Structure 1
Amino acid sequence: MQNGIGIEQYFEEKFPENPIIPATVFLDAHQTEHGSITHGIRTKIDYGMYKPEQLGTEQNKNILERLDHDLIAGDVESVILDNVQRSRWSKVIWNASFGPISVISGGYSASELLRDPIANQLVRTTMKELIAIGDAATGEKVSPISADDFIDKSFSITLNRPNEVFPSMLVDFENKRPMEHQVIVKNPIDVANKLGVKVPVLETLYSLLVLLEKKKFGIWQ
């Protein structure tokens, strides 16, 4: 359930005989005070086998069905996917765009970024680069709709959330915690370089992000 791309390989090496079930979590929640979490209007988990061919075994099908049953019993929207990597790329498109830009801009919320014309265009351009990586990495379209329609829909959902959305990367930065920029930003860049996808904006955002982190906290990747 960890955010980002390319997190499964470590577990595959450590537990080669175990099925790995990556998940994408859509959770409307925020911490109101230490030890207190307020849940919002939505909890949804998309998941499936790390390797699609693992879906063919009866044992793995039973594992997914049991997990589905337990999640539904806990009032969670549960979705089993044949290709879970599409869902993971779909989510990282938002995280790897809004997260770095919110930090570098000095703490803008997601909706504040979208209401600013310059920031809005920067987010859109970054998302298009990430969509291109996801399409190349998964071998199919990350979204069944066009890139522009996908981005417009994402913007609309973000702007219509009942509460301001502050990307987790910004929350970590403001609380002096390590940001997940390796798995959210750097890993997609590495995939892009491997596949020959040009991502100059994403590379620039990553460089600025780690420089800012080094300047403020003395951390260097």
Structure 2
Amino acid sequence: MGCTYAILGTGALGGFYGAKLQKAGYTVHFLLRSDYQQVSHNGLIVESKDGDFTLPQVNAYQNVEEMPRCDVVVLSLKTTQNHLLPQLLPSVVKDNGVVLVLQNGLGIEAEVAKIVSHVQVIGGLCFLCANKIAPGHIHHVDYGRIILGEYSSNYQITGIGDKIRQIALDFENAGIEIELTTDLLLARWKKLVWNIPYNGLSVILNARTDELMADEYTYKLVENLMYEVVAGAKSTGRNIPDNFIPTMLDYTNKMTPYRTSMKIDYDERRPLEIEAIFGNPLRTAQSLGVNLPQITCLYQQLKFLDWKNRNISYS
């Protein structure tokens, strides 16, 4: 029935989608680190606005070498762990299989394509509010839709093939809303319209999404940052429609008050995903002659806060 799935990174996002797939009857294998003992003995608990459920038994692994090769490898690690991908991906993805990148930021698919050949790389943009509240215990707060797009060299616009349609069908059978796109690069930039202002400001200003929206000054700052992301997208030949920013602001106004994933990482003193979400878009735009001064300001502040928070030196 459908594809076999490996989840590399069983946090809030990987745990939620992997659990939904297993609940729907698909074979899913979960790679875990700190939660391995808890999950291998007690399974996964999902508290969800769509209905709570428990998976008493899951296929849990501490080492990728012990995992079987799967049709689809779901990459849901934090991008700060992507230096491990050359050790993780080759042994778990089948030849002619798929690596599904469910990570934030820009340019990750291109990095994956360099590591594993003879596989298809698909990018996924997850619109999910979920937190891991205890080992193996995920709280799904809101949303859950994923936009899927095939990666092709240099993010050229591509078609929609059989493999991506099969994955979409599997996810839809698991109760996950899926949208397919032929332009993965545009979809990535559109996701950054939300991720850059809210993730960055939530850390710098110690604020939830609702607090950022309630104050007239931070609301304006969010809006200005969104327009800079649009300028970054334009530098790569991707035009984000004029109505997209008002739509994102309205979407966030209606959202359940939310502590962003970057703010949670900061509060837990974990490394922040600064390079994937801020550094890569900045460098991409700058290489094309476009400077994004307000996003640069966020980037520089976040680099300092991350360094101070973890009390380490950058080499």
Q: TM-score, normalised by structure 1?
A: 0.88
Match of 2:301 in 1: 208
| 1:48 alignment partner, SS class | strand
Q: What CA RMSD, in Å, does the superposition of the two structures yield over aligned residues?
A: 1.7
Match of 1:30 in 2: 131
Which of 19, 25, 39 matches 2:140? Answer: 39
Separation (CA, whole Å) in 1 of partners of 2:308 and 2:143: 37
| 1:141 alignment partner, SS class | coil
Match of 1:61 in 2: 161
Any conservation in 2 of the 1:4–1:184 contact (CA below 8 Å)? yes
Higher relative contact order (CA 8 A, sep 6+): 1
Aligned residues: 210
Shift of 1:33: 3.5
Q: Which amino acid aligns with 2:179?
A: V
Shift of 1:41: 4.3
Residues 215 and 42 (structure 1 numbering): CA distance in 2 closer, same or farther, change over 3 Å? closer
Which of 132, 146, 157 matches 2:251? Answer: 157
Report runs of 4+ in structure 1 exceeding 6 Å deviation: none
Would you tell me which structure has more helix in proportion to its own residues? 1
Match of 1:172 in 2: 265
Kindly provide the CA deviation profile for residues 47-93 of structure 1, in whole angstroms up to 9, marking residues without a partner as x: 121115663xxxx7221121121111101111121112211111112
Match of 2:173 in 1: 73
Q: Which amino acid aligns with 1:4?
A: G
Kindly provide the CA deviation profile for residues 9-64 of structure 1, in whole angstroms up to 9, marking residues without a partner as x: 22111123322111111113233434321224422111121115663xxxx72211
Separation (CA, whole Å) in 2 of partners of 1:220 and 1:187: 21
Which of 219, 222, 226 matches 1:120? Answer: 219
Any conservation in 1 of the 2:209–2:252 contact (CA below 8 Å)? yes
Match of 2:122 in 1: 21
Separation (CA, whole Å) in 1 of partners of 2:171 and 2:103: 17
Separation (CA, whole Å) in 2 of partners of 1:213 and 1:3: 18
Where in structure 1 are there 5+ consecutive unaligned residues?
A: none
Any conservation in 2 of the 1:133–1:192 contact (CA below 8 Å)? yes
Task: Spell out the pairing of 1:59-138 with structure 2 (5 A cutoff).
Answer: 61-105=161-205, 107-137=206-236
Any conservation in 1 of the 2:129–2:258 contact (CA below 8 Å)? no
Shift of 1:132: 0.9
Residues 40 and 213 (structure 1 numbering): CA distance in 2 closer, same or farther, change over 3 Å? closer
Q: TM-score, normalised by structure 2?
A: 0.63
Residues 95 and 41 (structure 1 numbering): CA distance in 2 closer, same or farther, change over 3 Å? closer
Separation (CA, whole Å) in 2 of partners of 1:133 and 1:140: 9
Q: Which protein is bigger by CA-based radius of gyration?
A: 2
